[in-house]
Amino acid sequence: MAGKINKKALEKAIFTNRAVKKMVRNIVQKEVEKEKILFRADFESHPVTQELDGGETASNNSGTLGGYGNLFSFLGFNNGANPTAPVKTLIQKIALDRNVQSSSNTFKFKVNIPSKEDFAAVSRMPWEGGRSWLLDIERGISGLGAYLYGRFKSSRSGTGIQSKYNYANRRFQNVKYFSEMYSKFLRRLGAK
Which of 99, 97, 100 lies closest to 32 in space, CA to CA? 97
Quick: pLDDT tens for 92-113. 999 998 777 777 777 788 899 9
Model pLDDT, residue 192: 52
Model pLDDT, residue 191: 65
Name beta bridge partners: 161. Answer: 148
Residue 111 lies in a domain: yes
**pLDDT band (50, 70, 90) for residue 11:** low
SS3 category, 169: coil
Arithmetic mean of pLDDT over the chain: 89
Q: Are 57 and 71 in contact (CB under 8 A)?
A: no
Which domain, by its residues, includes 119?
Answer: 7-189
Residue 1 lies in a domain: no
Residue 150 lies in a domain: yes
Residue 116 lies in a domain: yes
Cα separation, 111 vs 71, whole angstroms: 33
More confident residue, 24 or 131: 131
Evaluate if residue 1 carries a pLDDT over 60: no
Q: Are 28 and 109 in contact (CB under 8 A)?
A: yes
Model pLDDT, residue 178: 97
Which of 187, 158, 179 lies closest to 81 in space, CA to CA? 158
Helix, strand, coil share of the chain (percent; to 5) = 45, 15, 40
SS3 category, 73: helix
Quick: pLDDT tens for 31-69. 999 999 999 999 999 999 999 999 999 999 999 999 999
Q: The pTM is what?
A: 0.86
Phi and psi of 101, rounded to 5°?
-105, 145
Cα separation, 21 vs 100, whole angstroms: 7
Residue 73 lies in a domain: yes
Total domain count, the chain: 1
Residue 155 lies in a domain: yes
Residue 2 lies in a domain: no
SS3 category, 36: helix
Angle ∠(77,82,88) on CA atoms, nearest 5? 130
Evaluate if residue 2 carries a pLDDT over 70: no
| Angle of the 7-16 helix axis to the 18-45 helix axis, nearest 10 | 60
Quick: pLDDT tens for 119-147. 999 999 887 778 999 999 999 999 888 89
Residue 85 lies in a domain: yes
Sequence-separated (6 or more) residues with CB below 8 Å from residue 45: none
